[in-house]
Amino acid sequence: MTRLIEPVSSGRRREGVARVEISVRDVRDSDLPVFWSHVSDERARHMAAVTRDYDYDRAAFDAHWVRVRCDPAVIVRMVLADGEVAGHAAIFGPPGGREVAYWVGRAYWGRGVAAAALAALVGLDRSRPLHAHAAADNAGSIRVLQKCGFAITGRGRIFAQARGEEIDEVALTLA
């Protein structure tokens, strides 16, 4: 799946910003060092807020990705922007409780990459409902999910390892 998208800001095309070609494909071993660099970005971790131990330890990160790639219940795709690894998107979990997750490198934020990738991914798994969570102050991620049809269905608090404190979180569902 490949699509050309125009980056958007408040629903309007930004002047001087070129179209981006977005595609998704299976994960390759050679993608993992790039993805590790994305998750090692402190600003990106802060924005994501809810990180896992494997986001801070390369050996644990590699072991996590071996498990993910071997699990037939997980759908995971690398996201390419103009042919470069820009991040990943995944659907995981048991029937009725499946969740989506994605991570896009900071260089690709605000360019429509996450929304295009997530739209492609949810098209690969027609099971519903799909669930997602985002830090309540991560307006960009919430906007991506809403563009893909997710609606806010709840609010709560969660410990955000990247911030070292509890934060407000929103739950979203694609019915």
CATH number of the domain at 123, please: 3.40.630.30
99 has a pLDDT exceeding 90: yes
144 has a pLDDT exceeding 70: yes
5 has a pLDDT exceeding 70: no
Q: Does some domain include residue 40? A: yes
Whether omega for the bond prior to residue 33 falls within 30 degrees of 0, making it cis, is no
3 has a pLDDT exceeding 90: no
Q: Are 141 and 89 in contact (CB under 8 A)?
A: no
Q: According to the model, what pLDDT value does residue 18 have? A: 64
Give the structural domain span for 27: 2-8+17-128
AA letter at 25: R
The C-alpha atoms of residue 48 and residue 103 are separated, in whole angstroms, by 8
Tokens representing residue 88 in the block: 């990943």
CA distances in angstroms from 173 to 40, 72, 132, 133, 135, listed in the order given: 28, 23, 6, 9, 15
Chain segment 123-139, per-residue pLDDT in tens: 999 999 999 999 999 99
H helix or E strand, kind and range, residue 135: strand 130-135
Tokens representing residue 44 in the block: 């990106």
Number of domains in the chain: 1
Q: Does some domain include residue 70? A: yes
